[in-house]
Amino acid sequence: MTNLGFVGLGVMGSRIVKRLLDAGYTVTGYNRTKAKAQWLLDLGMRWGETPRTVAEVADVVFTMVTDTRALRDVTEGPNGILAGLGPGKVYIDMSTVSPAASRELAMRVAEKGARMLDAPVSGSVVTLEQGKLSIMVGGDYETFQQVKPILETIGPKVNYVGGNGQAVLMKIATNLNLGAQMLAFSEAVLLAEKGGIPRKTAVEVLLNSVAASPMLCYRGPFVLEMPEEAWFDVNMMQKDLLIALEMGRQLNVPLPTTAIANEFLTAARGMGLDKNDFAIIFEVLARMSGFSPDHKPPAGE
C-alpha cells in the first residue's frame, strides 16, 4: 500500500505529507487552496483535482480537516471521498470531530466495501517535525495492523484504543487538558510578573519545574512572543473543548476546568484574538488584570 492520498494540507497535514514523501511513499494530495500546497508539489507530491480523485488513485487515503462540517464537505457529494472509495481501500481520518460523526462516517465507508480508521494525533508542528508525534487509532484491529507501518512513518507512538470513534474520544480527552494547562500556566506567570518577577524569569523557572509538561515546554514561551502562524488557534481549541463538554454531559462526567478554560477562549474571541494560537489565553488574563492590550515586559526582562 504505497499509493497514498491526503486531503487537507493545512499546517499539520502538509507536514505529515512531507514525512510520507521523505519515506518514499507516492502521495496524491488535495487542498481547497492549491497554492498552499505548491511547496509539496515541488517535492514530488501529485495533485488530485477533487477529493474523489484522490480516493480513486490511492490505496490508503487520509483526511485532516478542521471540523465535522469540513469533513462532510470533503467526503460527501459527487466529488467527495466516499464517491471514490471501493473494496480493498482504507480511509483514515486524522481530524478531531465528534465520535458520533466519526462512527456514522465509518458505516458509510463500510457500505462502499472500504474500511475506515479514525486516527487523530497528539502533538504540534514541533513534535511532528522532530518525529515525536503520537497517534491514537480506532476501528478494525486487522486494518490497523495493516496500515501501522505507514502511521509509524508519521509518528513513532501509535496506540490502538478500540473501535470506530474511540480514537477521537481519546483525542478529545487529551485536548481538554491543553486549555486547562495553558490557563494555569498563564495564571502562574502573571502572578509572578505582577509581584515583581520578570516574565522571562517566571517562564524559565516554571518550564524547569515539576509543573512543566511537554505541551507547556513548547507552548509556554508563547507568552513572551506569539508565533506569526498559530499552531492551534482559539477557534480550533474551543471546538475541541465544546465537544468535550458535550461528551461530558452525555456520559455524566463533570468537566469544571474544561468549562472555565472554554470561557477564557470565548473572552479571547470577544477581544478579537481568535486567530492567534490558544496560548493567547495569557493576553486575555493580562488584560483582565489591568495590563493594557499592548503591554510588554519591561526592558531587560
Q: What average pLDDT does range 277-291 have in this prediction?
A: 93
Residue 131 φ/ψ region, left for φ over 0, alpha for ψ in the -120 to 50 degree band, beta for the rest:
left
Three cell numbers written together for 155: 509518528
CA-based nearest residue to 28, from 50, 65, 1, 58: 58
Amino acid at site 209: S
- In this prediction, what percent of the chain has a pLDDT beyond 70? 96
pLDDT computed for residue 297 by the predictor: 52
Mean pLDDT, range 233-253, rounded to an integer: 95
Cell of 185: 500556566
Q: Is 171 a catalytic residue?
A: yes
Across-strand partners of 27? Answer: 4
Per-residue pLDDT reduced to its tens digit, 86-141: 999 999 999 999 999 999 999 999 999 999 999 999 887 777 888 888 999 999 99
CA 276, 278, 280, 286 torsion-angle sign: positive
The DSSP H or E segment spanning 162 is: strand 157-162
Q: What is the pLDDT of residue 301?
A: 43
In tens, the pLDDT along 186-200 reads 999 999 999 999 999
- List beta partners, residue 115: 90
List Cβ neighbours of 149 (8 Å cut-off, separation of 6 or more).
none
Distances (CA, A) of 292 to 207, 239, 279, 296: 26, 28, 17, 9
Stretch 190-217: mean pLDDT: 93
Output phi, psi for 240, to 5 deg: -70, -40
Phi, psi dihedral angles at 297 (to 5 degrees):
-60, 145
What pLDDT shows up at residue 1? 60
Q: Which of 89, 112, 171, 239 is catalytic?
A: 171
User: How far is it, in rounded angstroms, from Cα 247 to Cα 244?
Assistant: 5
- DSSP H stretches of helix in 112-165: 125-129, 141-154
In 42-126, where do the E strands start and end? 46-47, 60-63, 90-93, 115-118, 121-122
> Which residue segments constitute the domains of the chain, with CATH numbers given?
3-164 (3.40.50.720), 169-288 (1.10.1040.10)
